Amino acid sequence: MKVICAGLPKTGTKSLCAALRILGFNVYDFEEQCWLIRDKLQKAMDVGCTAEEYHDMFQGVDAVTDLPACLLWEEISKAFPKAKIIFCQRQDEKEWLKSFLHQMSVIRDNIVLRILLKFTRTGSKVTHFGDTAGRVGFGFPHSKVFKFLPINEKVLLMRYKQHNAYVMQTAPKNRFLAYNVKDGWESLCKFLDLPIPSEEFPHKNKSGVFIDELMEDSLMFRRIRLEIVITLCVVIVLTSIFIAAFLV
């Protein structure tokens, strides 16, 4: 592990993830964490993990961004004491709140997503994983993320402030960068001691579109779609058998 992103979602983490990949890092974002090491991170969120367990789950991983790693940044940092910590935050906390709430509404308003998550085995696991991250990170009650339950905006903003303040006060200063993705390549590459790439700095997940990209491209949702197809085929076959038996 070389880089730990301690910034919460909607602080530029998707752009940072893309930038780190351009720089050659093997990055575990939310998708990889949920798809490849979900059970291990579920344990980390529920009861905690040892340094040895973190070394096992992140073997071969260069960097982590987004949930739930950003909530576990301190524990991961202790397990990898040489890893650099990049902390993203919005300049305006109210803008962060607005952006976060918009992301939640995009997720909840996507009917196809809700069907895929509700009626598949993998979708159920993803839901539980996301709900746990919501509980640990923001104090959401169970199933807050994927259900139409009200969100206490004051509590949400308080959690954001608490997280940011704790990171700023606690992170080791000799391997810490407070970073805004608007700063682009220069400060990031200087901190990582890497040359600046020729391509433009990436800007991802504008207007909360990452969920559409995730559903379209990720291995996780390919598996979920396959489970839906199999379920529909089974239903059709069983229905056909029942109708045939009834007509006889």
Whether residue 1 contacts residue 81, with contact meaning beta carbons closer than 8 Å, is answered with: no
Residue 147's pLDDT is what?
54
**229/119 Cα distance (integer angstroms):** 11
**90/181 Cα distance (integer angstroms):** 9
Residue 23's pLDDT is what?
97
Whether residue 177 contacts residue 85, with contact meaning beta carbons closer than 8 Å, is answered with: yes
Helix ranges, the chain (H): 13-22, 30-36, 38-46, 51-57, 73-79, 93-109, 111-118, 121-138, 153-170, 185-192, 210-217, 219-247
177 or 152: which carries more pLDDT confidence?
A: 177
Mean pLDDT of 147-156: 75
Residue 144's pLDDT is what?
47
Residue 148's pLDDT is what?
53
Whether residue 214 contacts residue 221, with contact meaning beta carbons closer than 8 Å, is answered with: yes
Mean pLDDT of 123-129: 87
Number of C-beta neighbours around residue 167 at 10 A = 20
Judged against a pLDDT cut of 70, whether residue 134 lies above it is answered with yes
Angle between helices 93-109 and 210-217 (to 10 degrees): 40
User: Which 3 state secondary structure label does DSSP give 126?
Assistant: helix
**136/68 Cα distance (integer angstroms):** 9
Mean pLDDT of 52-66: 96
**154/176 Cα distance (integer angstroms):** 29
Residue 238's pLDDT is what?
65
Structure tokens given for 6: 């301690």
Side-chain-side CA neighbours of 195 within 13 Å: the count stands at 3
Arithmetic mean of pLDDT over the chain = 87
Residue 206's pLDDT is what?
65
Tell the burial category of 213 from Cβ atoms under 10 Å away from its Cβ (0-12, 13-18, 19+). middle
Residue 207's pLDDT is what?
60
Q: Which domains, and CATH codes, for the chain?
A: 3-247 (3.40.50.300)
State the maximum Cα–Cα separation within the chain, in Å, rounded to a whole number.
79
